[in-house]
Structure 1
Amino acid sequence: MVEPIIQLDRISKKYDEQYAVNELTLTINKGEIFGLLGPNGAGKSTSILMMLGLSEPTGGSIQVCGMNSTTNPLAVKKRVGYLPDDLGFYEQMTGYENLLFTASLNAIPRRIAEERAKDLLAKVGLTESADKKAGKYSRGMRQRLGLADVLMKDPEVIILDEPTLGIDPEGVRELLALIKRLNKEEGITVLLSSHQLHQVQQICDRVGIFVEGKLLAEGNVESLAKQLFFDDSFVVYAKVSPIDGKLNEQLQSLKGVNRVEQKQEQLEIYGETDISSAVARTVIEAGADLYYIKKKNYGLDEIYHRYFEGGAGDGEASSA
Structure 2
Amino acid sequence: MAIIEVKNVTKRFNDKLVLDNVSYEVEQGEIFGFIGPNGAGKSTLINIMTSLLTPDSGTIKICGYDILKEPIKAKECIGYVPQDLALMEEMNAYDNLEFFGALYGLKGKVLKERISEALKVTGLEDSRKQKVKKFSGGMKRRLNLAVAILHHPKVLILDEPTVGVDPQSRNHIFSFVKNICKEWGTTVIYTSHYMEEIEELCKRVFIIDLGKEISYGDREDIKASVFPNNKVIIEAQDITGETIMALKDDEGIIKIGDKENSISLTINSKFKLANTLSLLEKNEVNIKKISYEEPKLEDVFLSLTGKTLRD
Which category of TM-score, normalised to the shorter sequence, fits these structures?
0.7 to 0.9
Which of 144, 152, 155 does residue 154 from structure 1 map onto? 152
Is 1:131 the counterpart of 2:129 in the alignment? yes
Alignment correspondent of 1:13: 11
Structure-2-length-normalised TM-score: 0.87
Per the TM alignment, residue 15 of structure 1 is displaced from its structure 2 partner at its CA by 0.8
8 Å CA contact 2:232–2:291 kept in 1: the answer is yes
Task: Please give the alpha-carbon distance, in whole angstroms, between the structure 2 residues aligned to 1:138 and 1:86.
Answer: 15
Which of 289, 292, 295 does residue 292 from structure 1 map onto? 289
SS at 2:158 equivalent: strand
Q: Which has the higher mean CA deviation after the structures are superposed, 159-168 or 199-208?
A: 199-208
Is 1:270 the counterpart of 2:266 in the alignment? yes
8 Å CA contact 1:247–1:283 kept in 2: the answer is no
8 Å CA contact 2:61–2:74 kept in 1: the answer is no
Which of 296, 302, 305 does residue 302 from structure 2 map onto? 305
Change (3 A) 1:188 1:273: farther
- Length, aligned pairs only: 305
Which residue type is aligned with residue 271 of structure 1?
Answer: I
Which residue type is aligned with residue 238 of structure 1?
Answer: I
Give the unaligned 5+ runs of structure 1. 311-320
Give the unaligned 5+ runs of structure 2. none
RMSD: 2.5
Structure-1-length-normalised TM-score: 0.85
8 Å CA contact 1:36–1:208 kept in 2: the answer is yes
Task: Please give the alpha-carbon distance, in whole angstroms, between the structure 2 residues aligned to 1:21 and 1:288.
Answer: 59
Provide, for residues 249-296 of structure 1, a one-character-per-residue CA deviation record: whole Å limited to 9, x for no partner: 566444x44344544553332233384634555436646433322111
8 Å CA contact 1:50–1:70 kept in 2: the answer is no
The 5 Å alignment of 1:1-320 reads 3-230=1-228, 232=229, 234-240=230-236, 241-243=238-240, 245=242, 248-249=245-246, 252-254=249-251, 256-263=252-259, 265-273=261-269, 275=271, 277-283=273-279, 286=282, 288-289=284-285, 290-309=287-306
8 Å CA contact 2:209–2:305 kept in 1: the answer is no
Change (3 A) 1:278 1:12: farther
Which residue type is aligned with residue 38 of structure 2?
Answer: N
SS at 1:148 equivalent: helix
Change (3 A) 1:248 1:9: farther
Per the TM alignment, residue 54 of structure 1 is displaced from its structure 2 partner at its CA by 2.1
